[in-house]
Each structure stands twice: as structure tokens, then as C-alpha cells.
Amino acid sequence: MSQKTIIARPVNINLFKIRLPISALISITHRISGMYVFFVTLPLSIFLFRNTSSELSFSNVNTLLKNNNILSTFVYFSFLVFLYHIMTGFRHLLMDIHIGENLKAANASAYLVIGLWLLASLFTFLRFGS
């Protein structure tokens, strides 16, 4: 009979104690944003586009978005999540064709995507404010 060797492995990994590289965090948030886009942004877009089939209904939706700050902020936020998902997806596609897949380049592209997304968010909310 053989004896089993007991290896001390972590049973529950605390993800808040592990320091992941920024490229791993971008990958995780890309998946989360994909779920948000599928379950929130897509139905919202379908609802808004279906309700703009005539000039009168378009005017009603436009008035609703102008007068309801909560709804318009939600629509802008959903757009920004969709934009983030597209930008990180493009980054992943480049890495799939072996462009920037070493750790230094992956981290640099992650910071670039975050910077461009924050810049786009700033311009979106500056436009939203006026």
C-alpha cells in the first residue's frame, strides 16, 4: 500500500490578496463588461431603437432622455461599457495574432486602453454636461 502525500494547497484563494498584473485585470473586466453588454446594453439598445420607428416616437424618446437625468446617465454609462468592451476586445484580438503578447507589451497596451477609455469617458461626460 502506498501512502498519500499531503500537499498544503490553498483551499480558498483570496483574490484580494493576490496582486495580478494590469493585463490580467483588463482581461477579467473585459469578460465582466461583455456580460453587462449582453444583458443590459443590448436590451436597452433594442428598446430604444424599436421605440424610434417614427418621428413622433423618436421625439418622445429624445424628450425622455433630455428630461430624465437618471435614464440618460444610464444610457451614457452603458455606451461607455460597450466602448470599453470593444477597446479591450481589439486589444485581445491583437494579442491573438501575436502582437504585444509579452508581459511588458501587454501591460503597456492595458494602460493605453485604460487611458483612451478614460479620455473618451471624459469627453462623453463633458458633452453630456452641456
Q: In this predicted model, what pLDDT tens digit does every residue of 71-95 receive, in sequence order?
A: 988 999 999 999 999 999 999 999 9
16 three-state secondary structure: coil
pLDDT confidence of residue 3: 67
DSSP assignment string, 71-121: HHHHHHHHHHHHHHHHHHHHHHHHHHTTSS-SHHHHHHHHHHHHHHHHHHH
| Whether pLDDT at 106 is above 90 | yes
Q: In this predicted model, what pLDDT tens digit does every residue of 26-59 receive, in sequence order?
A: 999 999 999 999 999 999 999 888 888 888 988 9
Q: Give the DSSP letter of residue 4.
A: P
The percent of residues above 90 in pLDDT, for the chain, comes to: 56
Q: 126 pLDDT band (50/70/90 cuts)?
A: confident
pTM of the shown model: 0.82
Q: Mean pLDDT over residues 104-129, rounded?
A: 91
What domains sit in the chain, N to C, each tagged with a CATH number?
Answer: 22-129 (1.20.1300.10)
Q: How far apart are CA 84 and CA 27, in angstroms?
A: 11
pLDDT confidence of residue 40: 96
Q: How far apart are CA 71 and CA 12, in angstroms?
A: 40
Q: Tell me how many degrees the CA angle 53-82-45 measures, rounded to the nearest 5.
A: 20
pLDDT confidence of residue 130: 57
End-to-end CA distance of the chain: 78
φ and ψ at 87, to 5 degrees?
A: -65, -45
Q: 10 pLDDT band (50/70/90 cuts)?
A: low
Q: How far apart are CA 90 and CA 113, in angstroms?
A: 10
